[in-house]
Amino acid sequence: MQAIGYKELVPYLHGQAELADCVALIKQHSRHFAKRQLTYFRNQMPTHWFDLVARPEDKNAIVTLVQQWLKQR
């Protein structure tokens, strides 16, 4: 079991920990995992981040950038 949440709940299921403590641990491990993901992506090729929830109009900009990138290859 490698997914976040499973191993953190095992102590609760065995009566060795409170549910609130396990939930707090799941949240902490989720934040750490997200931070590692961001670090990984920052070290890859240049990345353009778009928030389509906040700015759905960026969809056209994404299409344009991808088309330009494909033409350069």
Tokens of 16: 């060795």
Domain ranges, residue 68: 6-72
What distance in Å separates the CA atoms of residue 11 and residue 6, rounded to the nearest whole number?
10
Residue 1 falls inside a structural domain? no
pLDDT band at residue 1 using 50, 70 and 90 as cut-offs = low
5-52: per-residue pLDDT in tens? 899 999 999 999 999 999 999 999 999 999 999 899 888 877 878 898
Residue 40 falls inside a structural domain? yes
What distance in Å separates the CA atoms of residue 10 and residue 12, rounded to the nearest whole number?
5
What distance in Å separates the CA atoms of residue 72 and residue 37, rounded to the nearest whole number?
28
Give the count of domains, the chain.
1
What distance in Å separates the CA atoms of residue 13 and residue 63, rounded to the nearest whole number?
48
Residue 26 falls inside a structural domain? yes
50-66: per-residue pLDDT in tens? 898 999 888 998 999 89
Residue 46 falls inside a structural domain? yes
